[in-house]
Chains A and B, each alone.
Chain A
Amino acid sequence: LLGPCYQVTTADPERRKGKPYRLVIDVYPPDAKGMQVLPLIEGVRNHTIVLDAGHGGSDTGAVGPQGITEASVTLSLTKKLQKILEASGAHIAMTRTTDVDVYGPYASDQQELQARVDVGSRTPGTEVFLCIHCNAFSNPNARGMETYFYPKTAQDERLATDLHDALIQAESPYGIPDRGVKEARFYVMRHSVMPASLVEIAFITNPAEEQLLNDGKFQEDIALGLAKGLAKFFSGQ
């Protein structure tokens, strides 16, 4: 499962040695020390995916009892997924890569959500639009993960099912209950042209799940699970 690891850097010119500006590509053997070894997923190479980290900027999304924000968790997890998918040869477009509003601060909800949808329609060849969210409920005892679709194409439900099956595999070791695949009229899923799905990883309003959501290892396991779910979806096309 270990892929080749490489690092791309730039080097300043060294005039005395007669060397100009350089682009340096270091290739490491898989077991090299100090290198983060990214798992390689088969079946996503050359596929184009838009990853949408929910909320951000002026909109924190839901907030957990310890103050962890949905926007920070979704960004961190989505960037981990981006790395895995890019290392595996997929083409990735991100709706955001920092803690910002996609449209702009304090835009209307419609402008903000449409700006995310637009990333999908403006990225040539986008096959899948994947939104990553944390759930929230007024009762802190509510727990579990769920996956949403809006049946606008013949593929939306299958995408949600493949992602959900992979999430069950990734989350059951953590004891997170399965709440199922569900249909809902969510703005981004409804307005994007390509198959889309929204995953609710866990409840940020539940104290135990909030801690997990903020944990780097948990985020990596979920990112790997989602990458496998995408590979399964592409294999069925």
Chain B
Amino acid sequence: MRQQTEVPFMSRIFRHKLAALALALTVHGWSTAAGAQIVVKIGIGTQDTTTNTVTAGVVIRQLNLLEKYLPKDGKYANIKFELEWSNFTSGPPVTNTMMADKAQFGMMGDYPLVVNGFTFQSNPESQSRLIAVAAYNQFGSGNGLVVHKDSPYFQLSDLKGKLVSVPFGSAAHGMLLKAMQDRGWPADYFQLVSQSPEVGSTNLQEKKIDAHADFVPFAELLPFRGFARKIFDGVETNLPTWHGVVVRTDFAQKYPEVVVGYIKALIAANEWFRADPKLASEKIQEWTGINKEVVYIFLGPGGNMTTDPTIKPILIDAAAQDVKVLQNLGRMKEFDVTKWVDDSYIRKAFAELKLDYDAQLKSMANYEVKGEDKFCNKHITDPRKAGEVWVDGEGIEPFSSTACTLGAYSSIKAKGKKINMAYVFDTARGIKLFADQAYYAIGSDKAAIAPFLLKKDAEDYAAKNDGKVLSFEDALKVATSGG
């Protein structure tokens, strides 16, 4: 870091000579024959299993969207692009690959992103800039904390003094620190240890740890795989969580049109997902191994993540908060997030696609569950009270309320059909839930069934309405008999 400003003159000459020698060997390899096509390599570091980033990575790769939007004329007439995709399970290796100039684009979650920007500050060749957002949740859902399903813990405070693992430096780590800060808990409230998703998942399954906090998609994936239960959702921290795309500035300044093309491909990938979320989820399962039901809870309608490439001020504010947390931990020095954001490329992409960037920037809307409820014969008016049932081999049916969803679930099941998953929405927080993992509260009149992520929320609701809390099975019975 210190040497950044004092690169002596000699070394520059040295480097010039070497540059001539090594021209053919550098990462942006050039073919030596004069007049021939120039080959430019574009390296992209993706996180396929991190469902948040799929539309910035694996979808673009599999559908060859980037090839479609790469510039072809003018100064690019003689350039042949070669794409190099590399896949990692977390953000830091992507940063490492970018630092080594093996990737020019990279995508990762909020915490690794600021670490990326900060690490690049000491790189004499290039900086990194945030050019687009892959997906976000305004309230911090996506990160979550899970416990073993047989454990006696139902809320965060039950874990006092217990062994909790989280990948340090990840968005989930930030969520946990924020949650502790909000509650005024001391740093040693939990026994906090750092474990990668792979290690933490196995440890939780073997009950070696009491809880594991992780980023997308693990807080949904582990419960889906059947051994974990989510007891804390990032939504309770009320701090946005998001994934974004960074680019090396040396590359971006040389080939700005490529960066614009990449963002167009990202927009196209988002559209592709929203056009047919069921098919898209199935494809992503095929490409990444993350179960389609889990992909759908994140990126489907009313899902826990909004795919929107615009760089919203609230996300940047959240990143500034992340920087503060890292500084408090002594992991980071000065870093100005506002200088690190560069929206010129995405503005250009929007303009060329005839889209209104500023309008999109202001919108915080996701796409929602809609259509006709065929079970209760109603039009869906309140999407965050609705529900969905995914019938194996058929499709995903929307229903107007939790009661209708559960009623439909029973009737579909009675017909002998296989159900992949049913989804409902948390009554208090509006986040999408796996129906079979939720707690249900009914009032004394048994008119409405209210699903909750947290047992405590359900109990509060039941107490207030003089009702009781039901499991999924009991809620199904109520929905079919009395509802």
**Do the two chains belong together in a single complex?**
no
Q: Which residues of B contact A (CB under 8 A)?
A: none
Q: Which residues of A contact B (CB under 8 A)?
A: none
